[in-house]
Amino acid sequence: MSSADEQDGQGSHHGVNASYYALRSEALVALCVEKGIFTEEELEATGAALDARSPKDGARVVARAWVDPEFKKRLIAVPEFAIQELGYSLHETVTRLAVMENTDMVHYVAVCTLCSCYPRSILGRPPDWYKGFAYRSRVVGNPRAVMREFGFEPDKSIEVRVMDSTADLRYLILPRRPANTEHMSEEELAELVTQESMIGVTGALEPKPATVAD
């Protein structure tokens, strides 16, 4: 990621130099196509694959882990293989995925301090704030303050660990299953799993209070 991204503070290419970056990006693509590194069709297919994924996909993986302890073991041990059981796979360029389980002892939160590395193969594109300089710098120094801004405060007894993603290693945070969800189906549980909770800046949503049945 370029130094200009650092300077504009948001990791965005849409500042005053937008046309410069658009031109540079086009030139890079043209060069890569010319050199046979990839074809325009492959580039389009990669973009389409990214757009086909959203946090709903990650939520399916999390909900399955909540209801199936054996799947959870496999997911944590070798996530690259376990996600294939649900029809997902890592993009060719990413070699490793790590699944970090949040517990009553430790709470993980993911960041890419350098740019915007993110488990796109399961979660789709990252939110803008994840790419922003403010998050990338602040979550490392004071993760609890950042989580508080998301409305989330892990208990003081819980150790908070910040995981720094790289081009080769992406993190999927496995949020804790909320209490009082024993009666819920896997599909209903997936509704409680948010993008934020899979980055670790919040926990999963609490279930809506059950309506009183007679």
Contact residues: Fe ion, CB under 5 A: 112, 114-115, 117
Per-residue 3-state assignment (H helix, E strand, C coil) for 39-83: CHHHHHHHHHHHHCCCHHHHHHHHHHHHHCHHHHHHHHHCHHHHH
Measured distance CA(71)–CA(75) in Å, rounded: 6
Least distance in angstroms from the C-beta of 164 to Fe ion = 9
Q: Which is nearer to Fe ion, 13 or 176 (CB)?
A: 13
Least distance in angstroms from the C-beta of 213 to Fe ion = 49
CA angle at residue 200 from 195 to 204, to 5 degrees? 60
Q: Which is nearer to Fe ion, 23 or 167 (CB)?
A: 167
Taking CB atoms, the residue at the shortest distance from Fe ion is 117
Q: What φ, ψ does residue 147 adopt, rounded to 5°?
A: -65, -35
User: Residue 6 has which token pair?
Assistant: 């650092």
Q: Which is nearer to Fe ion, 115 or 205 (CB)?
A: 115
Q: Which is nearer to Fe ion, 115 or 140 (CB)?
A: 115
* 13 DSSP assignment: S
Least distance in angstroms from the C-beta of 8 to Fe ion = 17
Return the active site residues: 112, 115-117
Other beta carbons less than 10 A from residue 98's beta carbon: 17
65: Cβ contacts below 8 Å, ≥ 6 apart: 71, 72, 75, 99, 174
Give strand pairing partners of 171. Answer: 98
Give strand pairing partners of 164. Answer: 111
